[in-house]
Structure 1
Amino acid sequence: MDQITKILDRLLALHPKEIDLSLGRMHRLLAALDHPEQRLPPAIHIAGTNGKGSVTATMRAILEASGKRCHVYTSPHLVSFNERIRLGSDGKFVSDPLLFDALHRCEEANAGAEITFFEITTAAALLLFAEQPADILLLEVGLGGRLDATNVVDEPLVSIITPVSMDHEKFLGNDLAVIAREKAGIIKHGVPVICAAQEDTALPEITRQAARNRALIQVFGQDFIAQEDQGRMAFQDEEGLIDLPLPVLGGRHQFENAALAIAALKVAHLLPGEATIADGLKHVNWPGRLQPLTHGALLDMCPAGAEVWIDGGHNPGAGISVAQFMGEQEERTPRPLYLIAGMLTTKDPVGYFRPFHGLVRHVGTVPISTTSTGRTPEDLADLARCAGLEATPFQSLDAALADVAACAQQDGEAPRILICGSLYLAGEALARNGMAPD
């Protein structure tokens, strides 16, 4: 067991709960560390249920194309914990020595006090961001917003709220309006807000919070938009139209994500010229989100000619977006679609699977080996059937793929395979395929 794994295991044991939303412990530790949160580069704060990572990755690509150095904080990781912290000093994931040093200093400053894993590791990230050079910090919320450990940044350049849907109900509430209110808790006095299109019950909560804080809010579909136009993406707001290449990330929802990124950089006075935006959009990289496999060990296990996608979306909103994308693929090139799914016990499998009804040939459910909170394949298969899908439990990803191969051989058709339902499973699949993020 390496040093990083050992210290992460120790930090995981500092609180009896994995999640306990509060800012008190965070403020205590940051004070002991001499307030790194007060020494950060200018920040953009991103909350929401779906799309946070894609919006962040798009902003990073555009900013880096313009020569800016970006610190980036995202979660969870797919393969290595280091993926959560990208440093602008070299544009890469934090190195093991720097990460270990920051975690060790936080562990010592915390002195054994009760604190959650996300809180203390976020403190380590803020310590690194305060001490390493960068022009901008892209700071993604972990869960919720109001009481999230990242919500110690008092004056970001802009706050972004991506689409809000039902997720993490155990911690955020069972009502979409309540969840939206929690997400809107990142809005600060006088700081502009860029907001995705929202459900009717969610948007009023966000606009009310913006009004309370006298924060100018711009909403996708009302104040700005991005849509396909003759094989290009047209971004438009009250100041005019920008002609851009199509998003490289898959799915119709990526038009909105790209628009949120562009609108946020614009209001933060960080948006470069049209040619530089276009260059950045061509280099957006966000693994595990409708990611096609073009080579690797996992693909080699699949039937000849198989099309394989990996996506870590895990809630009903993600299910709608991913099913829509798969439907578009089916219209272009008809193939039998097989899902291989794993999911955590905290998620809503029926809500996730329901949009796939009528689109999927079969669902193979598998365990997730990198977490203890995954549903059993048998339980997940039952819930897939509740959503109207045919499903069979398997005890491994390999076994599920072998079953798809057998069905494909019997049918004589090259399949389309979607490995889905969890970022943990997406990470396992990418590691298995030899495609760890970089």
Structure 2
Amino acid sequence: MLDIKFVRENPDAVDTAMANRQTTWDRERFFALDEERRAVIAEVEKLQAARNAESKKIGALMREGKREEAEAAKEAVREVNDQIEGLADRRSALDAELNDFMAHLPNIPCDATPVGKDETENPERRRWGTPRDFAAEGFEPKAHWDLGTDLGILDFDRGAKLSGARFTVLAGAGAALDRALQNFFLNTHIARGFKEFIPPVIVNREIMYGTGQLPKFEDDAYHTGEDQFLIPTAEVALTNLHAGEVIDVADLPLRYTAGTPCFREEAGSAGRDTRGIIRQHQFTKVEMVKFATPEQSDDELESMVAEAEYLLQQLGLPYRVISLCTGDLGFSARQTYDIEVWLPSYNSYKEISSCSNCGDFQARRANIKYRDPEHFKGVRLLHTLNGSGLPTGRTMAAIMENYQNSDGSITVPEVLRPYMGGMERIG
């Protein structure tokens, strides 16, 4: 959530930020709500001062035997209390309305985020690896959905029978590959300074709100009850581990990781991504989350991207890194890098990791602060970051397509073989 004081004092900057994000905000409504709320607060304070003055008179009047005047003062206090109570109701309504207004405003992009209208204007930063030339090897590569079906490791029909469209059963070596990827990712992160968690996959409404999934993206979330949801990513649970807490600066940055099932309705999605295991309603993902001071967060974003890149390098999968422009930036992010892996079935790169610095946007919603007594009094909001490290499904698809052989088998990347009992080939 944005700082209401910042919005109040910098409406032109908000105008620019929202325009760059290809969205709009109702500036007039914000100021109307904000000004009425402040006027109500001022009136309450005025009435409270008048009530306190009248209350002080009552005791003196009683001591002086002026009972009629004392009763009149008591009646005046009761009338003021009624007015305060009525204004309190209005204040609560205005607070709720203004909070809802602010909850729908996306984060303001930082200066490092390139300005652009949509994904076609995301600048590429770098590439690693060279896509395999299957034509030179004399065969036409298959898409992972065909490879998986032929090998009996991806069963789309039984997934649909059990749960409907865009659910898949992983069988045999497919299940082993998914599990191997999760263990490889987690072990790598842990060895490089991350702390592992296994959080619940059902969270309360305020937890979804804390990271910005609600209220804007409620249609994409799976409800398990009126106020509980299946997590769309472990980011939701990991970030909120410290909701309402104050962290000592000596403990920052904190680096957390978790591998969890993730659940997304994917409302409105369609097209090629609905084939195979690229865009599923249920999938497994290893997530990275960081808590940092404002001074640390930019460097922590760069190291988070490097962490996801390292996994792909160890797997030998070609990829590229792009910067998301303002028009393609996620709701809670101020800066984001996407890592896209090469997929032969698309003959292009496809997103496999998104690493974001959210600044204090999520911390304000979830009330996560830090103390640094050597540099300031009291407490301040810290910065939160999150990134995929990585989703097992999309990584599996990339391995199947990039490591396929002319006979329809799949070579297991060397780094995964210890996690698969030494298996070198599927099929």
| Band of TM-score, shorter chain | under 0.3
Query: Which fold has the larger relative contact order, with Cα–Cα distance below 8 Å and residues 6 or more apart in sequence?
Result: 2
TM-score, length-scaled by structure 1: 0.23
TM-score, length-scaled by structure 2: 0.24
Which structure: larger Rg? Answer: 2
